[in-house]
Amino acid sequence: MTTTARAFGYVDSPWPVLERMAEAHRRSWEMLASAGEWWTGAERVSVAAEVRRASAMVDGLPDPGPGPAALPEAAVFAVHKLIGDLPNVTREWFDETIASEGMSDARYIELLGVVVHVWSVDEFHRALSLPLEPLPEPIPGEPTQIRPAGVKPHDSWPPTIWPEDLAESEADIYDGAEYAANVRAAMSLHPDSVRWLADLFDAHYLSWTEIRGEQEPFRVLTRPQRELVAARVSALNECFY
């Protein structure tokens, strides 16, 4: 493991990784290492370690080993399901998972936030054949166990917050937008995961503002090129959405 300060240098990379991407990856590792609302920093790093174990299992690579903290069995299973068996994630499985010992809907969503962001940073490295960044040392701290007051059942499996129900503490998560697409609101039961999503979404793809407007000049692929790749990756994952 390493500290986050010197992470993601890309000095030796043969590819011109933008500094704004490197900075977003460093912020991701800081988020990862810190205590969240429902998991400690050590547990979150262990979730990340499990993401790498699941990936190694799928790829037939040696087991990189567990993280620093023990995780509930259902959490470990969820990580492996989300990485290696995505087409078979179902409503029934979701309901069973959040009802399992050591889990809840909020703990599942925070876990999902860690899984998808660590996986995304790692996948960027794999696509460029760069070594994976060592996982960070956990930052001490206790989960806040704060559940947003405005969450309600909507159309997704977990409850979510719509813009009109945002409280002051999470008022920033949709950047003031009056409407949030379902994929943007999906993890709003854990607002920091929505913030994390926006940060890495901007670094890797487009900002939410660019989605419905012009893309920034530093983006290289055109919109059709970008979205062709997006559609193919979704199809390869058999994702209907």
The site map against another protein for 80-119 (x = CB under 8 A) is --xx--xxxxxx--x--------------x--x--xxx-x
Q: Do residues 163 and 177 make contact, with C-beta atoms less than 8 angstroms apart?
A: yes
CB of 140 to another protein, least distance (A): 28
Query: Which token pair is 181?
Result: 């697409």
- Kindly tell me which of 126 and 195 has the beta carbon lying closer to another protein: 126
- With H, G, I as helix, E, B as strand and everything else as coil, classify residue 16: coil
The half-sphere exposure of 117 on its side-chain side, counting CA atoms within 13 A, is 33
Integer distance in angstroms from the first to the last C-alpha of the chain? 36
Comparison of 209 and 225: residue with beta carbon closer to another protein? 225
Kindly tell me which of 102 and 141 has the beta carbon lying closer to another protein. 102
How far apart are the C-alpha atoms of 56 and 84, rounded to whole Å? Answer: 10
Interface pick for another protein out of 204, 207, 208, 210 (rule CB under 8 A): 204
d(CA 156, CA 166): 17
Binding residue for another protein (CB under 8 A) from 27, 80, 126, 147?
126
Q: Which stretch binds another protein (CB under 8 A): 11-19, 33-41, 139-147, 167-175?
A: 11-19
Does residue 205 bind another protein (CB under 8 A)? Answer: yes
Under rule CB under 8 A, residue 217 binds another protein: no
For another protein (CB under 8 A), the number of binding residues is 68
187 binds another protein (CB under 8 A): yes
Out of 6, 15, 164, 213, name the contact with another protein by CB under 8 A. Answer: 15
Distance CA 103, CA 105 (A): 7
Single residue of 7, 21, 69, 76 touching another protein by CB under 8 A: 21
Q: Half-sphere exposure of residue 97, counting CA atoms within 13 Å on the CB side?
A: 24
Distances (CA, A) of 54 to 23, 47, 212: 26, 10, 35
Instruction: Pick the closer one to another protein by CB: 131 or 142.
Output: 131
- The SS3 assignment for 12 reads coil
Q: Which of 217, 216, 202 is nearest to 20 (CA)?
A: 202
Among 158, 166, 173, 190, contact with another protein (rule: CB under 8 A): 158
Helix (H, G, I), strand (E, B) or coil at 26: helix
Q: What are phi and psi of 152, to 5 degrees?
A: -145, 155
In the complex, the smallest distance separating the C-beta of residue 147 from another protein, rounded to whole angstroms, is 17
Taking the complex as a whole, the smallest distance from the CB of residue 56 to another protein amounts, in Å, to 11
**In the complex, which residues of this chain contact another protein (CB under 8 A)?**
15-18, 21, 59, 82-83, 86-91, 94, 109, 112, 115-117, 119-121, 123-124, 126-129, 155-158, 181-183, 186-187, 197, 200-201, 203-205, 211, 219-241
